[in-house]
Amino acid sequence: MPSLTPRGLIKLVRPRQWTKNLVCFAGVFFGHRVFEDHYALRACIAAAAFCAASGAVYIFNDIMDRDRDRKHASKKFRPIAAGEVSVPQAIVLAALFLAAAIGLGAMLGLTVLGILAGYVLLNISYSAGLKNLSLVDATVVAIGFILRIYAGTVAAAVAPSAWLLLCAFFLALFLAFGKRRAEVNAFTGQLTASRTIVEEPDAPAADISATRGVLHKYNVAILDRFCNICATLTIATYALFTVLGHPGDRTLIITTPPVVLGIFRYLLLIERYHEGEAPDAILFKDWAIQMAILLWFILFVAATYLGLHIDVI
């Protein structure tokens, strides 16, 4: 049995992907309760609970996918696939993280605990088979973001905006389809490198399924359409949120341009530079995305917390 190391443990629970759980703070942030200690603490607990739950889910997924991961160019270095962590060790770790998620969720009440349970069951179903169903795979990922937002809003005792929920759903779909697009790009690129062929949008099902079973059900053309549609819907619903979500004051409309630029930049990275296989990595390394997020944050804080007002009819 391999000796469990801190490095193997950290890699196994994928802390870099915990950035997704920042949406748990949407309730206190958009509900103007960031400076209310009680609700800010509850949002932190909700985020921590989802970090623990997602850690358990990632471990379960890696156990299920260990044979497939060994055939992937980068996933073969995951601890279980690489032999750094045994399956029994991984099961114990998953149980510990799940227990931590239950304990943290219980501190916030039965509603949050129920949302956490739904999130875990949904992702177990995803790992067990839903990820092999086209369209369903991306939808499950998007629903996971909605559950995080709901848990955060319940923790902060605020009602989520319908427009904001729609925007988050379409953005999550956009990122999920962008990830699939990047994975198809990576696979066709490997084929081109291994033998001289003309790149085709449809890769042979038997080969591409070796790394992710659902990929042979997509191709570049349809994924480009999905990404473009989801990008359009994300921008449209966010713009409607800034207008219809605040009928008495439409100052938030100034936060729309950074959102548009951020989406366009991500599309450019996917389609021109064939990135997007790891959305969390783009968040950490792409300065243009970071600047768009920073500008959006500054404008939003100025409009909602610092009293910036612009007269817009």
Residue reference for tokens 């591409």 = 208
Query: pLDDT value at position 188?
Result: 67
pLDDT, residue 297, reads: 96
**In terms of Cα–Cα distance, which of 176, 68, 57, 75 is closest to 126?**
57
Q: How far is CA 78 from the centre of its chain?
A: 19
Tell me how far apart the alpha carbons of residues 160 and 170 are, in angstroms, rounded to a whole number.
16
| Tokens linked to 305 | 């917390």
Render pLDDT for 94-103 as a digit per residue (tens, 0 to 9): 999 999 999 9
| Sequence spans of domains, the chain | 1-160, 162-313
CA distance 195 to 169: 39
Q: How many helices (H) and strands (E) does the chain have?
A: 14, 0
pLDDT tens-place string over residues 70-83: 887 778 888 888 88
Which helix H or strand E contains 52, and what residues bound it? helix 37-64
Q: 261 or 276, which is more confident?
A: 261
Q: Which CATH architecture has domain 1-160?
A: Orthogonal Bundle (1.10)
Q: Is 65 helix (H, G, I), strand (E, B) or coil?
A: coil
DSSP 307: -
- What is residue 77's three-state secondary structure? helix
> Which is more confidently placed, 306 or 194?
306
Dist CA 99 CA 106 (whole Å)? 11
Q: Does the pLDDT of residue 57 top 50, yes or no? A: yes
pLDDT tens per residue across span 92-131:
999 999 999 999 999 999 999 999 999 999 999 998 889 9
Residue in the structure block whose two tokens are 């530079």: 273
**Mean pLDDT score of the chain:** 87
* Nearest-angstrom CA–CA distance, 190 and 196: 11
Confidence (pLDDT) at 208: 56
Inter-residue contact 97 to 52 (CB < 8 Å): yes
What pLDDT score was predicted for residue 133?
94
CA gap 308, 56 in Å, rounded: 43
92: Cβ contacts below 8 Å, ≥ 6 apart? none
**pLDDT tens digit sequence for 127-169:** 888 999 999 999 999 999 999 999 999 999 998 889 989 999 9
